[in-house]
Amino acid sequence: MILPGATLGLLGGGQLGRMFTQAAQRMGYEVVVLDPDPASPAGRIGSRHLRAAYTDEPALRELGTIARAVTTEFENVPAGSLTFLRQFCPVRPGPEAVTLTQDRLVEKRFARAQGLATADFRPITAVGDCARAFAEIGAPALIKTAQLGYDGKGQAAVESAADAVEAFRRFGDRPSILEARVPLDLEISVVLARGADGTIVTFPVAENRHVQGILDTSVVPARIPDTLAARAGEAAATLAEAMDYVGTMAVEFFVVDGGRLLVNEMAPRPHNSGHYTLDACATDQFEQQVRALAGLPLGDTTLLQPVAMVNLLGDLWAAGEPRWDRALMDPRAQLHLYGKTEPRPGRKMGHINVLAPTADAALAAALAARERLTTP
């Protein structure tokens, strides 16, 4: 075990890294952050900020020498950097697990290999693949770049083979997949933590709503049958075990046909849909990341009360600073801002959690709090 007082390392300095750093510092750890952005939210509060590229070997060597163990806050860190770091200290999650989630095609094939369903898909590696893929998938469909897509980026709706060709060209002829656009009952996600000893604990299932590809709200517990929630937790655990994953991770699912689960994406890190845990669970997802990294026993994931989370995007700043006092008129509203200096449309700047006796009441109150932010 790596006990409080030691130094932990973090690749990536965004909001997820900031919340990991806050959790680690609360528990008595020092945190060294490697991120090239001088204004990175995590780097600004870490014990030390190494301002270097993720492939900078001298900086990686310094990080691995200072830290007793290293984790990452995003999935697109070069796997080679994780492999390089592992010669100096434990890296959790390891490069093998992270690599699985960096390519949609690899990820979906992996999920299917574990006996889990996904939406139907076909690989596209050249423009000539578009017509064949569309003929097999049909409309409606989505074309998604195999790598580096998030929050709706790198994907486009497709209604014809010509649409597929146009989108593939627009994405720079990058390897992609054509995926059937399934009629959704709803979207859910499972955040879990797996320790180095193989112990797995899952957080309550979140029911999610996206707007233009970006998570807008999460409601917990998800308003689904307990049996469906249990199946989602078991499926997520199956993936974590098959990956030999260590740390906090999330699995997003589509619910279709009145209760059938389709694996959508995996995230080898804490997840936006798990931010509700900061106020509504006995242990939050970032403390679990610290515990798993340090080899400590995993914490209790009990939900203290139903909760809703609403994202705060940079669009809210269009007319000036949001009216924080108006949102906080509701004493249940818990405001979390990410320390970002430049609000931009679509950029995640923070979130609000509201706990209430029921999930419906929590959602109504959270939406009302966000609405008041821009009330004249």
Do residues 354 and 334 make contact, with C-beta atoms less than 8 angstroms apart? yes
Q: Is the pLDDT of residue 11 over 70?
A: yes
Pick the CATH number of 120-180 from 3.20.20.80, 3.30.1490.20, 2.170.150.20, 3.60.15.10: 3.30.1490.20
3-class DSSP state of 367: helix
pLDDT of residue 41: 97
What is this structure's pTM?
Answer: 0.95
User: pLDDT tens digits for 81-138?
Assistant: 999 999 999 999 999 999 999 999 999 999 999 999 999 999 999 998 999 999 999 9
Distance CA 74, CA 268 (A): 7
User: pLDDT tens digits for 15-37?
Assistant: 999 999 999 999 999 999 999 99
- Looking from the CA of 336 toward its CB, the CA atoms found within 13 Å total 22
pLDDT of residue 254: 97
- Please provide the CATH number assigned to the domain covering 7-91: 3.40.50.20
- Please provide the CATH number assigned to the domain covering 186-372: 3.30.470.20
What are the respective helix, strand and coil percentages of the chain, to the nearest 5? 30, 25, 40
pLDDT of residue 149: 62
Whole-number percent of the chain with pLDDT over 70: 99
User: pLDDT tens digits for 296-333?
Assistant: 999 999 999 999 999 999 999 999 999 999 999 999 99
Question: What's the token pair of residue 293?
Answer: 């990294």
Domain residue spans of the chain:
7-91, 120-180, 186-372
Do residues 10 and 17 make contact, with C-beta atoms less than 8 angstroms apart? yes
pLDDT of residue 372: 97
